[in-house]
Amino acid sequence: MAGEDAEPGDNRRPRSVYGVGTEPDARFSLANERTALAWVRTGVGLVAGGVALTSFSTFADLPGLVDLVAAVACLVGASCATYALVSWRRNERALRRREPLPAPGGLPVLVVGVVLLAVLIAAYAVAAGLGAAASLP
């Protein structure tokens, strides 16, 4: 049968990852994959939270701020998913080449996004609390 003598990684995609170096210990590859999936799961959660917030913006005292928080949550979630793929590819190539793992390049940007999201949510909580306090008899 054609291809029986080929290395197992020869037909896997993306070739830019599996076509370089030698097969690493499966434990390290699987750990890299689990980390990427955790980032994707976090991204999906942030996007879901952003979508849920848009449903509540019509009931909010400050709907514009809620929509802004929702948009930031969706963007940070999409960034998490993108970071997962980029990081997985970089780490997997380094593992296959027996090189040190690269520094987490996009992580500081994601941290800034999460901090911005937290600040916006806190600002909304304070503004909504002040608005509710002003309407008390």
In tens, the pLDDT along 41-99 reads 999 999 999 999 888 888 877 788 888 889 999 999 999 999 999 999 999 999 999 99
Residue 5 within a domain: no
What is the predicted pLDDT for the residue at 63?
81
Average pLDDT along the chain = 85
Where in the sequence is the domain holding 64, given as residue range(s)?
A: 22-134
Average pLDDT over residues 28-41: 95
8 domain-assigned: no
Residue 12 within a domain: no
Does 11 reside within a domain? no
Residue 18 has a pLDDT of 85
Residue 68 lies in a domain: yes
Average pLDDT over residues 90-113: 90
Contact predicate 74/116, CB 8 Å: no
* Number of domains into which the chain is organized: 1
Residue 6 lies in a domain: no
